[in-house]
Amino acid sequence: MARKQKFPHLLGSKWTAHEPQFGWRHFEVVNRSTQGQWVFAELVSTCDPTVRFWINAKVLQDRFLWQGGWQPLYRSEPDVG
C-alpha cells in the first residue's frame, strides 16, 4: 500500500502572512521538497516574484503566523474624538 503524502494540496496554495515577510504578505507555493520526514514549501510573493524563500510546511499550519488564502489587510483607524 502506498504511503500517504504529507501536505498533498501544498503546491499552488495561497497564503497570507500575519507579519510582512521580506516586505510582503501575500504568497503562493510554487515548489515543494521532501527531505526525510520534513516537507518544505517554496513561497513566492504575488506582488514581487523576485521575493522567494523556502519554509518548513509545518509552519504554515501556525494560525498566529499564516492564514490560508489571500486575505484582505486591515489597517486600524486612528481614534478621533
Q: Please report the pLDDT score of residue 31 as a whole number.
A: 96
Query: Where in the chain are the domains?
Result: 14-61
Q: State the Cα angle at 11 between 40 and 67, rounded to 5°.
A: 80
Query: Comparing C-alpha atoms, which of 57, 19, 63, 16 is closest to residue 38?
Result: 57
Radius of gyration of the chain (CA): 15
Q: Please report the pLDDT score of residue 73 as a whole number.
A: 73
CB atoms within 10 A of CB 45: 19
Q: Please report the pLDDT score of residue 6 as a whole number.
A: 78
pLDDT in tens, the chain (81 residues): 556 677 878 999 999 999 999 999 999 999 999 999 999 999 999 999 999 999 999 999 999 999 999 988 766 555 555
Q: Please report the pLDDT score of residue 2 as a whole number.
A: 59
CB atoms within 10 A of CB 33: 11
